[in-house]
Chain A
Amino acid sequence: MSKDIKFPQEYEDAIASLDWEQMRVDLEQFGRDSRYLASIVPDLREQHPDCWVAVYHEQIVGFDPDLKELLARLSAQGLKQNLAIRYVSREPVLLIV
């Protein structure tokens, strides 16, 4: 069974310097955004078919068929972190992983 990997001390130092309280706040919002995005997929299939759709604070903040284009546009608006993003195909796709 897997166990934690022992990281070099410099990695541990970087981890210790993270803002864990801000990460907690961001993760809670990300959870709400992800649930919201999942809930509107049926509508998105009609509104933005075959596009990547980004949600932030439970609002659609962008969509584009090209993921890199979408992220570049949102990044220019200061939105890079904590986005909930998924690809919305016109028809449901059977996922087998």
Chain B
Amino acid sequence: MAIEGYFDSSGEPAPYVGGSVYLPRLGDGNRVGFLLDTGADATTLHPVDAHKLGIDGSALGPASFQTSGVGGQARYTPEYAIVSFYDKDAEDWRSFRIQVYIASPENQHSAGSLPSLLGRDILNRCRCTLDAAENHVVLEPRRT
């Protein structure tokens, strides 16, 4: 199985993959472009995608997780999610049932324009091939 992404070359080429995110507790779903981030412990949704998903801050629980990054500390709210990618070759979906971490509205300024991140909770379950020169981004999930 192989999931294809792409390099966004609007700056230094950055690997992205598009997926479908569904939050079963809230009943909200949408398409999300994830930046592959081997530096992130967990998959995160930043404000642009939280807004697209129609997430109202009041519907979330308290922002109970404090995270650290190169930009400082921020608070996130965990939420059950199924994150799914389509494998064109296999003509099938590959889904991951995880907790995504949603940026708290109080982080709006610092996290406002950041893309959502595909973290190691998913990346460690895949073989990842990145080749910017060939615009080649491939995730091959391991069978579990």
Question: How far, in whole Å, are A30 and B121 apart by their CA atoms in the complex?
Answer: 24
| A4 contacts B52, C-beta separation under 8 Å | no
**Per-position binary interface string of chain A over residues 49-91, scored 1 when its CB falls under 8 Å from any chain B CB and 0 otherwise:** 0001000000000000001100100000000111111110100
| A97 contacts B114, C-beta separation under 8 Å | yes
Within B48-92, which residues are at the interface with A (CB < 8 Å)? Answer: 48, 51-52, 54, 69-71, 80, 82, 84, 86
**Per-position binary interface string of chain A over residues 1-13, scored 1 when its CB falls under 8 Å from any chain B CB and 0 otherwise:** 1111111001100
Question: How far, in whole Å, are A21 and B79 apart by their CA atoms in the complex?
Answer: 25
| B30 contacts A2, C-beta separation under 8 Å | no
| B25 contacts A1, C-beta separation under 8 Å | no
A27 CB contacts on chain B under 8 angstroms:
18-20, 31, 86
A3 CB contacts on chain B under 8 angstroms:
144
Min Cβ gap B41→A in Å is 9
Size category of the A interface is 35 or more
Min Cβ gap A56→B in Å is 11
Question: Which of B47, B54, B69, B113 contacts A80, CB < 8 Å?
Answer: B54
| A67 contacts B6, C-beta separation under 8 Å | no
| B31 contacts A30, C-beta separation under 8 Å | yes
| A97 contacts B40, C-beta separation under 8 Å | yes
Chain B residue, CB-CB nearest to A75 = B54
